[in-house]
Amino acid sequence: MGGAGGASRTAILVCQGRAVAHGRLAPGRFDDPTALALLRPAERVAVEQVRADAVPVGARPRMAFEMVRACGDAMAPRTVTIDDAVREVVARHGAAGTQVVILGAGLDGRAWQLRELAGIPVFEVDHPATQREKRERAGGLAEPVSAPVYVPVDFSRDDLGDALAAAGHRESAPTVWIWEGVVPYLTRGQTLGTLQVIAARSAPGSRLIIQYHSPTPGFALGRGAAAVLSRLTGSENPMAREPNRSAWTPRAMGRAVAAGGFTVTRDDTLLVLARRFDTPARHRQSLRGTRILVADRPAGGPSPG
């Protein structure tokens, strides 16, 4: 997500969460050395405080500390699950027969640090302003494993399918679609419209990975509490400019992806995943309300079109 002002606040928060988790949470499973390098100096302060467990004094810095720490708790199981799902497809089809599309890429670092992406086209789709800032921030990173193909798309006026085709995305090759941290900020109509494009451009053997929110009371209460605390402390609420616009039950999301020819293979809450990877679960309601779905288009299924 992003806009004319550059990288969104939530994209920065997610990057801060990855930086917090790097080398600390899910050791041996989670590692993202790009995250801290993609942050500005001021954005690193809360990260360094959380990593050192140095709780700051004052309401505003304490709120920033808690939000970054909570995001770190979520990012480890979320990222490990998604990356494992990507690796499975690469192992199945090989690098020569796979491509990856990251929808709403933000400050994603996979093209630099996920070694399984070597030789695989990686298309990063996001708002043009977000991508300009991403490219500036990525200037100090080491050479990527797979140089990302930037696909600037303003969803209010651009056609995603046309943009991907112009960038070199092939309908004939299996695609791994990573749709992370975007669906909650879209209306149901926008989500269904994007799923139609995905379905049309997914060859047999493709995989769709979606992170979405389910309509749990605890999750809504958590966002409401963040808004109240922001007003009380006079600090910016990072969710204010990107409010939740849709929540999906697993059944509804399953029907939506099935309409595009995908079969759900798993759909877990972050709370289940956190327990699986033995990572912190301090904010159980938020983790319970966030889900990751993995769905496949059968290799023997019909071609898109």
CATH number, position 234: 3.40.50.150
Q: What is the pLDDT of residue 230?
A: 56
> Is the residue at 83 inside a domain?
yes
Mean pLDDT rounded to a whole number for the chain: 90
Location of structure tokens 């929110």: 213
Q: How far is it, in rounded angstroms, from Cα 131 to Cα 124?
A: 9
**Binning pLDDT at 50, 70 and 90, where does residue 5 land?**
low
Q: What is the pLDDT of residue 231?
A: 60
Helix (H) or strand (E) holding 108: none
Structural domain of 214: 2-296
Residues 232, 200 contacting (CB under 8 angstroms): no
Mean pLDDT value of segment 45-50: 97
DSSP state of 140: G
> Is the residue at 256 inside a domain?
yes
**Count of structural domains within the chain:** 1
Q: How far is it, in rounded angstroms, from Cα 25 to Cα 60?
A: 25
**Binning pLDDT at 50, 70 and 90, where does residue 174 land?**
very high
> Is the residue at 86 inside a domain?
yes
Q: Is 21 exposed, middle or buried (0-12, 13-18, 19+ CB in 10 A)?
A: buried
Which of the given ranges, 61-65, 66-70, 148-152, has the highest pLDDT on average? 148-152
> Is the residue at 302 inside a domain?
no
Residues 17, 79 contacting (CB under 8 angstroms): no
Mean pLDDT value of segment 276-297: 94
Q: Between these two residues, 164 and 227, which has the higher pLDDT value?
A: 164
Q: What is the pLDDT of residue 243?
A: 73
> Is the residue at 304 inside a domain?
no
Q: What is the pLDDT of residue 60?
A: 85
Q: What is the pLDDT of residue 216?
A: 79
What's the token pair of residue 2?
């992003």
Mean pLDDT value of segment 30-50: 96
Mean pLDDT value of segment 264-286: 94
Please list, residue by residue across 167-205, b when 16 or more beta carbons sit within 10 angstroms of its beta carbon and e when fewer do.
bebebebbbbbbbbbbbbbbeeebbeebbebbbebbbbb
What is the pairing mode between strands 99-103 and 290-296? unpaired
Q: Between these two residues, 122 and 58, which has the higher pLDDT value?
A: 122
* 124: three-class secondary structure by DSSP: strand
Q: What is the pLDDT of residue 184?
A: 92
CA 10 to chain centre: 10
> Is the residue at 303 inside a domain?
no
CB atoms within 10 A of CB 12: 21
> Is the residue at 301 inside a domain?
no
Q: Provide, rounded to the nearest whole percent, the portion of the chain with pLDDT above 70.
A: 88
Q: What is the pLDDT of residue 96?
A: 82
* Sequence-ordered alpha helix ranges (H) in 234-303: 250-258, 270-277, 284-289
Q: What is the pLDDT of residue 232?
A: 52
Mean pLDDT value of segment 256-285: 95
